Homo-oligomer: A and B are copies of this chain.
């Protein structure tokens, strides 16, 4: 009998894919944000990848997109109520990180020293 591998994986892939967490965290702290501002706040992400990620997160129901038909047109992104339900999960992870990430560093030092 193959054990059902893991019920965590689907949500981990949804939320903790590359850049998704950073974009959500930035929107959580900046509220409604324009594309160019998001680029400035997450400088390591390229415009092309940011656009792809935002489209995917919009499709997943995690990001809302508002188009302002002005000259030039203006587009803003924000967390949806569904995305906001993830904030307690994020804080749980930050707490774990504050408490335990140091232990990971020490484990790595021990492992490397024993090589």
Contact = CB atoms under 8 A, between A and B. Distances in A.
B29 A9 contact: no
A8 to B, nearest CB: 5
Max count, chain B CB within 10 A of own CB: residue among A2, A7, A62, A85: A7
Contacts of A92: 88-89, 92
Interface residues of A, number: 49
A110 to B, nearest CB: 8
A68 interface: no
A10 interface: yes
B89 A93 contact: yes
Interface in A70-100: 82, 85-86, 88-90, 92-94, 96-97, 99-100
